[in-house]
Amino acid sequence: MIRQMVKLNWLRGLALLAFALLGVAACSQNENVIRIGVFNSLTGGTATFGISSTNGIKMAAEEWNAKGGLLGKQIQLIVEDDQSKPEEAAMVVTKLVNQNRVAAILGEVASSRTLAGAPIAQKAGIPLITPASTNPKVTKVGSYIFRVCYTDSFQGAVCARFAVQKLGLKRLAILTDVKNDYSIGLADYFKRDAVLLGGEIVSEESYSEGDTDFRAQLTSIKGANPEVIFVPGYYTEAGLIAKQVAEQNMNVKLIGGDGWDSPRTVEIGGAAVEGAFFCNHYSAEDTSQMVRTFVANHVKKYGYVPDAMAPLSYDAAELLFDAIQRAGSIDGAKIRDAIAQTKDFPGVCGNITIDAERNARKAAVMLQINQGKLKVYDVIQP
């Protein structure tokens, strides 16, 4: 009996040793690279977000690698597609952490998916920077979770002020995607600020991501006779909603948030989105040197003018690489501290200072769709 146990322990020890040796071999194989995980929606309902974001990250990594890399090593991006699904986001982040042993993670665009992945990175002590998730809950997940964009408390205030004060329209309706943390949060902030400024919410309706028929909600909204419909959702539904608003012959202004930022909004909405406004992180027509250089490089590499996800994600990657360089190490805690200390980092979408809540204070632009193009209507400082 005792003999058997000794033998078993011995075998177990051998197995452990073999595992350890394998682990060392796997690590030393990759000692000349620094692995950075990326998770984004490369397919599914919001594929333009993930593709655009990942393209921006690739530009940053290629530039750093061409200049000699990071801490003398080449950056290796490990890109995972979460298919626009939160459950899948949690799975791929688990893989990046456990299997690929990445030094840090960039992603996601959509708040619901960052909220699904972030707790896994936090638990593992792997820093995560989201380029574009604006819901306030995201960075509250913990001390390893950062963002380089403004939050929806600001974006909601910007949209409310724009409707009530700039356009002078007080009768407001809201159509929210109840399956989407971003949409729910942004609707709330818009409402809070609009009411404070003297606006009246005359109708509140909802839908679920993936819906294609909004006619019942729009009939009810029409009955309340609003001057504005605020649509804090993503581009596919926003485009369809605009079309169905046009069908109903309503005399309203449509206002959206950054979720409208995709070439698909105009492709789907067509004439129905003409004159609509939405809040965003940048304008490709900005004449600053950084925007011009970025847009020119992006057009050269990918052949089209980028939406906001590409420069925001480029900025997130640049900031991360700079932090790793300053940290002088790929130790998670050291990288986290270096990110937290970032001040006045020059980004394409504005300078970035990481505050105590791991957020960034950035300006917003109000864009108007004009002959299918996005024109800057207003710039709003934080």
Residues that bind ligand PHE (CB under 6 A): 49, 109-111, 132-135, 182, 258-259, 261, 308-309
Q: How far is the CB of 358 from ligand PHE (least distance, A)?
A: 15
Q: How far is the CB of 360 from ligand PHE (least distance, A)?
A: 13
- Chain centroid to CA 161: 23
Buried-exposed string 55-75: b where 16+ CB fall within 10 A, e elsewhere: bbbbbbbeebbeeebbeebeb
Q: How far is the CB of 248 from ligand PHE (least distance, A)?
A: 26
Which CB sits closer to ligand PHE, 36 or 115? Answer: 115
Closest C-alpha to 140, from 158, 122, 153: 122
Which CB sits closer to ligand PHE, 330 or 349? Answer: 349
Q: How far is the CB of 49 from ligand PHE (least distance, A)?
A: 6
Q: How far is the CB of 277 from ligand PHE (least distance, A)?
A: 15
Which CB sits closer to ligand PHE, 134 or 359? Answer: 134
Which CB sits closer to ligand PHE, 64 or 314? Answer: 314
Q: How far is the CB of 33 from ligand PHE (least distance, A)?
A: 29
Which CB sits closer to ligand PHE, 184 or 221? Answer: 184
Which CB sits closer to ligand PHE, 38 or 308? Answer: 308
Closest residue to ligand PHE, based on beta-carbon distance: 182
Q: How far is the CB of 319 from ligand PHE (least distance, A)?
A: 16
Decide if 191 contacts 174 (C-beta within 8 A): yes
Which CB sits closer to ligand PHE, 203 or 359? Answer: 359
Decide if 324 contacts 330 (C-beta within 8 A): yes
Q: How far is the CB of 114 from ligand PHE (least distance, A)?
A: 7
Which CB sits closer to ligand PHE, 193 or 261? Answer: 261
Q: Alpha carbon of 169 to those of 173, 186, 191, 381: distances in Å?
A: 11, 19, 14, 22
Phi and psi at 177, nearest 5°, equal -90, 110
